[in-house]
Amino acid sequence: MKRLLPFLAALIATPAAAQLPQLSDADLTAYAAKTYDKAAMMEQHVTLGVHNGVAVVADFPCSDVCPDYTTRIIHYAIGPGPACTAAGGVSVVRMVPYSIAEVEKEFCVPKVVAGAR
């Protein structure tokens, strides 16, 4: 039960999770393959839906030369670690724009898009 607490807390903290669309592997793969407008999406946080019972979000951080350096990070709305593994995700390190550089940050990513950038 102790290992499930972070996972359960993430589900409870997900706003209106029951009302979000259910996402398939194909939905996530298609979204990850789509191009996006870096200027329009810069600094946005988008809840895409629910996959494997967990909310999936896309963050579009940018720093320094924006919107050119806007990047997209698709991930579960839970942190890396045991809760991530229990949800069927994988912990992945992504480079996130920060100031005039980039920093490594670990995310819980659906397996199906773990290799997508």
CA distances from 19 to 27, 48, 49, 88 (A): 17, 11, 9, 21
The pLDDT tens digits along the chain (117 residues) read 444 444 444 444 445 556 999 999 999 999 999 999 999 999 999 999 999 999 999 999 999 889 999 999 999 999 999 999 999 999 999 989 888 888 999 999 999 999 876
Largest CA distance in the chain: 46
What are the two backbone dihedrals, phi and then psi, of residue 84, each rounded to the nearest 5 degrees? -65, -50
Instruction: Identify the helix (H) or strand (E) that includes residue 12.
Output: helix 5-13
Place of tokens 């997209």: 72
Q: Which of 86, 75, 77 is nearest to 116 (CA)?
A: 75
For the entire predicted model, the pTM comes to: 0.81
